[in-house]
Structure 1
Amino acid sequence: MSLVQAESQTESRFDSPASLRAAKAENPKSRARDLAATLGVSEGELVAAMVDGDSVVRIDPSLDRLIPALKTLGPVMALTRNESCVHEKDGPYLDYHSGQHASMVLGPDIDLRMFPRHWVHAFALDDGEKRSVQVFDAAGDAIHKVHLRPASDVAAFTALVSDLRLDDQSDRIETAPRAPVEAAKSNPDKLDVLRAEWDKLTDTHQFLRLTSKLKMNRLGAYRIAGEPYAVALQPAAVAETLRRCAEGAVPVMIFVGNAGCIQIHGGTIHRVEPMGPWINVLDPGFNLHLRDDHIAEVWLVSKPTRHGMAVSIEAFDAKGGLILQIFGQRAPGSEQAADAADTKAPLPGTEGWFAVTQTLRETMGA
Structure 2
Amino acid sequence: MSTIAPDSPAALRSARAENPKSRTRDLAQTLGVTEAHLVAAMVDGTAVVRIDPSLDRLFPAIETLGTVMALTRNDSCVIERDGTYLDYRSGQHAAMVLGPDIDMRMFPSHWAHGFAVTDGDKRSIQIFDAAGDAVHKVHLREASNVAAFDALVADLRLEDQSDQIDTIARAPTEAAKSNPEKLDILRKEWDGMTDTHQFMRLTSKLRMNRLGAYRIAGEPYAKSLKPEAFTEALHRSAAGQIPVMIFVGNRGCIEIHGGLIHRVEPMGPWINVLDPGFNLHLRADHIAEVWLVNKPTKQGPAISIEAFDAEGGLILQMFGKRDPDTDAWIAMTEALGAEMPAETGA
TM range, normalised to the smaller chain? over 0.9
Partner of 1:129: 121
Partner of 2:162: 170
1:198 and 1:258 mapped to 2: Cα distance?
Answer: 25
Shift of 1:307: 1.2
Partner of 1:153: 145
Q: 2:290 matched to 1:298?
A: yes
1:350 and 1:79 mapped to 2: Cα distance?
Answer: 28
Quick one: which of 24, 49, 55 aligns to 2:16? Answer: 24
- Show structure 1 runs of 4+ deviating over 4 A: none
Shift of 1:330: 1.2
Q: Percent identity, please.
A: 74
Q: Is contact 1:201-1:304 (8 Å) kept?
A: yes
Secondary structure of residue in 2 paired with 1:308? coil
Aligned residues: 342
Shift of 1:14: 5.1
Quick one: which of 55, 65, 71 aligns to 1:63? Answer: 55
Partner of 1:356: 332
Specify whether residues 12 and 61 from structure 1 end up closer, same or farther in structure 2 by C-alpha distance, changes over 3 A only.
closer
Shift of 1:127: 2.1
Q: 2:278 matched to 1:286?
A: yes
Partner of 1:43: 35
Partner of 2:214: 222
2:77 and 2:315 mapped to 1: Cα distance?
Answer: 6
Secondary structure of residue in 1 paired with 2:301? strand
TM-score between the two structures when normalised by the length of structure 2: 0.98
Q: Deviations over 1:65-108 (max 9, x none)?
A: 00100000000000000000000000000000000000000000
1:329 and 1:14 mapped to 2: Cα distance?
Answer: 44
Matches within 5 A, 1:175-194: 175-194=167-186
Shift of 1:351: 1.2
1:248 and 1:275 mapped to 2: Cα distance?
Answer: 22
2:151 and 2:114 mapped to 1: Cα distance?
Answer: 16
Q: Is contact 1:15-1:41 (8 Å) kept?
A: no
Partner of 2:96: 104
- Paired residue type of 2:202: L
Shift of 1:236: 0.5
- Paired residue type of 1:311: I
Q: Is contact 1:14-1:39 (8 Å) kept?
A: no
Partner of 1:318: 310
Quick one: which of 173, 189, 201 aligns to 1:197? Answer: 189
In structure 2, list runs of 5 or more residues that go unmatched: none
Q: Is contact 2:7-2:164 (8 Å) kept?
A: no
Quick one: which of 246, 253, 270 aligns to 1:261? Answer: 253
In structure 1, list runs of 5 or more residues that go unmatched: 335-348
Q: Is contact 2:68-2:83 (8 Å) kept?
A: yes
Q: Deviations over 1:178-237 (max 9, x none)?
A: 000000000000000000000000000000000000000000000000000000000000
Partner of 1:341: none
RMSD, aligned CA: 0.7
1:33 and 1:184 mapped to 2: Cα distance?
Answer: 28
Secondary structure of residue in 1 paired with 2:29? helix
1:280 and 1:130 mapped to 2: Cα distance?
Answer: 23
